[in-house]
Structure 1
Amino acid sequence: MGEYSKALSSYERALEIRKIALTPNHSYLAQSYNNIGSVYNNMDEYSKALSSHERALEVLKIALPPNHPDLAISYNSIGSVYYNMGEYSKALSSYERALEIRKIALPPNHPNLATSYNNIGEVYDKMGEYSKALSSHERSLEIRKIALPSNHPHLAASYLDIGSVYYNMGEYSKALSSFERSLEIQKIVLPPNHPDLAASYNNIGGVCGKMGEYSKALSSFERSLEIQKIALPPNHSDLAFSYNNIGSVYCKMDEYSKALSSYERSLEIRKIALPPNHPHYASSYNNIGSVYDNVGEYSKALSYYEKAQDIWKKSLPSNHPHIAFVKRNIDIVKMKMQLFFLNDKINWPS
């Protein structure tokens, strides 16, 4: 967090100087606003990030031709903030506008086109539209294979994203292959505690968990968390993912007290790092509910499932699989409560 604060201070000082030295709508002012917005985005301060990026876009619309590549950068940055806020339809709109501009302004295999396809794929993945997500990510990878060296980090990112879609589609062997290819590249090109390595270990752990290889899954998730604790601020949202994933493995191993502890730590971080109706809140509530469900504390389970349902209904499309999933959890736990009540009545002493 200290490095982000230093960067923010430097960018704000540069903006002050540029405001004095330059005309009010000079493109260098937009550059400063974009830099400031990027830091706020990395700090999970999304409203400040959005304000800065939108100010940059306002300046660029005045200063530049309508299809200038720098406008695409601003739309892309705004999309990134909306994505992190869980506002996926707004993110998609911004990313698609960036892609439209880049198709006009750039050569057909320019790396920035790959970035746009990649970002659009990530949004579709979050929205549960997996075939569209896979198509976008594969288009991104095609461009990157042409435009970049064979071990470039962006190729690793493409393999990781393709693996994520396969994971969500339940094609775990394909997912694992993609994640391992990503990790191979990252180990060559990145420092040993880079956050992207943590993401790969997290994803490999997720696949191993789905395949029933729980000790491998736990080892991968814990390696991810070790890296994140070194590389990221203490309440960064990525740490919440790792705690959540560790909790998931413990839950599958029937170690419910450890699972609950990990899920609650994940939720604590998300309460600090994310807006109140972010979909990841719902994931935490659902997972905590599942622990209480498994240990027979059905009223607590129902309460957490209903919190998850409320948030997902507000933040996701109505046909998203998560909404159907949590409704099923609610229906099942209500049935369990009714059976428990009936059994209790039958066995109650007269």
Structure 2
Amino acid sequence: MGDYSKALEFYEKDLKITKIALPPNHPDLATSYNNIGLVYSAMGDYSKALEFYEKSHKIREIALPPNHPNLATSYNNIGGVYYHMGDYSKALEFYEKSHKIYETALPPNHPNLATSYNNIGGVYNNMGDYSKALEFYEKSHKIREIALPPNHPSLGTSYSKIGQVYNDMGDYSKALEFYEKSLKIKEIALPPNHPSLGTSYCNIGQVYNAMGDYSKALEFYEKSRKIRETALPPNHPDLAISYGNIGQVYNDMGDYSKALEFYEKSHKIRETALPPNHPSLATSYNNIGEVYYHMGDNKKALEFYEKSHKIREIALPPNHPHLATSYNNIGQVYKNMGDYSKALEFHEKSHKIREIALPANHPSLATSYNNIGLVYYTMGDYSKALEFYEKSHKIKEIALPPNHPSLATSYGNIGGVYNDMGDYSKALEFYEKSHKIYDHALPVRR
């Protein structure tokens, strides 16, 4: 239900009773600490979550043999916190510790091994290492195909994860193929208003939105929202996600009043359901700021981007990729205001975090170079603009498939610089490269 304060209240009552009734290293105490950690993790209070997960883990280390599956669960949960904190190397370290125990303790096709592979795949996907992500998601899927009946919901989840990688790679036809496989299984296995069906519709909506097919995106986002409104309490965080997704489509369509309406609905739910410094509230402020940015209201955009940033500074570690996003967004506003030195300052802060937090060819580093290039372009410093646009483009060539729309943007930006420099043959060459990709990657408008 997403009622975290109630969950904490009952788990803490359970812990008090368990502490009185059992010796200090009893495995049931570890379970109590683990449950409280789960709630704090869901609330976005990652330091508290780590505190309770580590208490749980210490007991299990004392009470259980070294390859007991519950120790693997501990490592997995700690890995999950580091994953949400954006500390991917730590997340991998703990997920791999968990996986080693499962490999020793469980038969080779046990569903928990599939979950392990899935979690490791998720880290590689967030790191932008899509081939590794696919490798681990496919290992997970193979186990589930052997271990589970053909229409088990976990197989649907496997297809969905593989679809997510293809979506992030910009291979939208593949993404749709896997998301639709996932949906078919869920339609057979689950009741018609199950929240997991809402997630499937949401995923398909995201692909259509990325393809610029906004009517299709809205159709699937609305299907998702209707299920969630039926299945969940009115202030459940997943409803906030639905409203946010619909707001995003309206924002991309340029219907800013509608975008604000849905983003504000999303934000109201999060204010009710989540603690005041939860990262999802930062996302809400960021989204509202983005609408004002597109409306040209730089003052309002800065106000909301800074609210978002303050929460992220409290809730997240100092090199979390979301902080880089905050600095980037603030930099974009300063560029629009004509304060280029401030814009560069914030884009460079963003870039420094991404250099620390992400692998060398992550697409977000390409975004950083692109945005720094854009500031120099706006300042009329075309040689600097080209330098950064080309750095951005090199990363995209390595990290993305050859017809990804982001490569088209790169070619377009480089073409724009040559055009303004008066080198029209070069400009045409790059504009045509851009056009070919858009022709291939995006749906035909009729």
2:49 alignment partner AA: A
1:13 alignment partner AA: K
1:281/1:102 CA distance change after superposition, 3 Å: same
CA–CA distance in structure 1, aligned partners of residues 4 and 15 of structure 2: 16
CA–CA distance in structure 1, aligned partners of residues 366 and 61 of structure 2: 42
Q: Which residue of 2 aligns with 1:275?
A: 316
Q: Does 1:158 align with 2:158?
A: yes
Q: Does 1:309 align with 2:333?
A: no
Q: Which residue of 2 aligns with 1:99?
A: 99
CA–CA distance in structure 1, aligned partners of residues 60 and 234 of structure 2: 32
Deviation at 1:149, TM superposition (A): 2.2
Q: Which residue of 2 aligns with 1:344?
A: none
Q: Which residue of 1 aligns with 2:88?
A: 88
2:362 alignment partner AA: H
**Normalising by structure 2, what TM-score?**
0.66
CA–CA distance in structure 1, aligned partners of residues 189 and 317 of structure 2: 37
Q: Which residue of 2 aligns with 1:204?
A: 204
CA–CA distance in structure 1, aligned partners of residues 174 and 104 of structure 2: 34
- Secondary structure of 1:146's partner? helix
CA–CA distance in structure 2, aligned partners of residues 35 and 194 of structure 1: 24
Q: Does 1:61 align with 2:103?
A: no
- Secondary structure of 2:25's partner? coil
2:139 alignment partner AA: R
CA–CA distance in structure 1, aligned partners of residues 232 and 331 of structure 2: 31
CA–CA distance in structure 2, aligned partners of residues 310 and 202 of structure 1: 33
Native 8 Å contact 2:228 2:238 kept in 1: no
Q: Which residue of 1 aligns with 2:180?
A: 180
CA–CA distance in structure 2, aligned partners of residues 292 and 227 of structure 1: 41
The 10-residue stretch of structure 1 (76-85 or 232-241) with the greater mean CA deviation from structure 2: 232-241
1:151/1:286 CA distance change after superposition, 3 Å: farther
- Secondary structure of 1:23's partner? coil
The 10-residue stretch of structure 1 (49-58 or 186-195) with the greater mean CA deviation from structure 2: 186-195
Q: Which residue of 2 aligns with 1:348?
A: none
CA–CA distance in structure 1, aligned partners of residues 192 and 321 of structure 2: 31
Deviation at 1:144, TM superposition (A): 0.7
Show the 5 A alignment for 1:1-350: 3-190=3-190, 194-224=194-224, 231=232, 236=237, 239=240, 243=244, 245-246=245-246, 249-250=249-250, 252-255=252-255, 262=263, 263-264=287-288, 274-275=315-316, 277=318, 278-283=320-325, 286=328, 297=337, 299=339, 302=343, 305=347, 308-338=350-380
The 10-residue stretch of structure 1 (325-334 or 250-259) with the greater mean CA deviation from structure 2: 250-259
1:187/1:203 CA distance change after superposition, 3 Å: same
Deviation at 1:189, TM superposition (A): 3.7
Q: Deviations over 1:180-238 (max 9, x none)?
A: 12122233444555553343233212221233312212333454456667748959499
Native 8 Å contact 1:30 1:57 kept in 2: yes
1:56/1:2 CA distance change after superposition, 3 Å: same
Q: Deviations over 1:64-117 (max 9, x none)?
A: 111111100111111111111111111111111111000000001000000000
Question: Aligned residues: percent identity?
Answer: 54
CA–CA distance in structure 2, aligned partners of residues 208 and 102 of structure 1: 38
The 10-residue stretch of structure 1 (169-178 or 66-75) with the greater mean CA deviation from structure 2: 169-178
Q: Which residue of 2 aligns with 1:345?
A: none
Native 8 Å contact 2:25 2:62 kept in 1: yes
1:291/1:149 CA distance change after superposition, 3 Å: farther
**Normalising by structure 1, what TM-score?**
0.82
Deviation at 1:246, TM superposition (A): 4.6
1:106/1:127 CA distance change after superposition, 3 Å: same
- Consecutive unaligned residues of structure 1, counting only runs of 5 or more, are 341-350
CA–CA distance in structure 2, aligned partners of residues 152 and 52 of structure 1: 32
CA–CA distance in structure 2, aligned partners of residues 105 and 288 of structure 1: 49
CA–CA distance in structure 2, aligned partners of residues 286 and 193 of structure 1: 39
Deviation at 1:141, TM superposition (A): 0.7
- Secondary structure of 1:65's partner? coil
The 10-residue stretch of structure 1 (168-177 or 282-291) with the greater mean CA deviation from structure 2: 282-291
Deviation at 1:143, TM superposition (A): 0.6
- Consecutive unaligned residues of structure 2, counting only runs of 5 or more, are 264-286, 291-304, 383-446
1:320/1:260 CA distance change after superposition, 3 Å: farther
CA–CA distance in structure 1, aligned partners of residues 212 and 59 of structure 2: 53
1:202/1:280 CA distance change after superposition, 3 Å: farther
Q: Alpha carbon RMSD of aligned pairs, Å? A: 3.5
Q: Which residue of 1 aligns with 2:300?
A: none
Q: Which residue of 1 aligns with 2:435?
A: none
1:275 alignment partner AA: L
Deviation at 1:159, TM superposition (A): 0.8
CA–CA distance in structure 1, aligned partners of residues 337 and 191 of structure 2: 45
